[in-house]
Amino acid sequence: MKTCIYCGSKVELLSGEIYKCSFCEVNLGPNSPYGEVGIDGTRPKIDGFKTGVVLRDEDYLAELSVKELMINSMTLSMMYSILKEMRLIRSEAYLLLKEAKDFLKLNNDKLPLDQINQFEHSIKSQGETYEFWTRKMWMVENVCIKKFGYCPAAIQERSLDQMENTTIKVSKKTMKINSTINSNISVSRETVAT
């Protein structure tokens, strides 16, 4: 039986491959923004926790745009992983910048002019790197606020794992309600297994 991936109700065939859920007031099908129709109470398919792909891929992170972050397939766990990684890269960039600045401050009198120029040049470029990742981080934080109404302060690896495991567990539970209409309630009092 074709069912709605949101509420588990039986859906009604509208035309072709488009099904309508009257309870949720959505149409489901191959081209629907709400997704595909379910079968016998199945839930939305998990788009995949692509966290492993994101990790440490600076090119991927650097090219991310607001548009890409806003799309439906960019899940909460993806956004969290991206944000976690960007914060890390940014703080590394900050440390490098600070070290270079501190070094120049300490050795300003001892270094020849051409070396000082070289250092100042590299500090400038490290400053630009730091600014780049700061703006990227702000971008992700604010898309989080826009999209989810929430932006976490710190993200632990453990909480990402928990998020993933919980979602997989929930998504595997089919949505079926034991019918109580035809059964004798005084006999059948078992609770629905969850």
Position 23 contacts Zn ion (CB under 5 A): yes
Spatial contact of 161 and 74, defined as CB atoms under 8 Å apart: no
Position 40 contacts Zn ion (CB under 5 A): no
Position 116 contacts Zn ion (CB under 5 A): no
Position 60 contacts Zn ion (CB under 5 A): no
Position 176 contacts Zn ion (CB under 5 A): no
Of positions 21, 78, 97, 163, contacts Zn ion by CB under 5 A: 21
Q: Is 10 helix (H, G, I), strand (E, B) or coil?
A: strand
Position 175 contacts Zn ion (CB under 5 A): no
Q: Which amino acid is at 120?
A: E
Q: Is 121 helix (H, G, I), strand (E, B) or coil?
A: helix
Structure tokens at 5: 């991936």
**Dist CA 169 CA 171 (whole Å):** 6
Of positions 2, 10, 18, 24, contacts Zn ion by CB under 5 A: 24
Q: Which residues sit at the interface with Zn ion, rule CB under 5 A?
A: 4, 6-7, 9, 21, 23-24
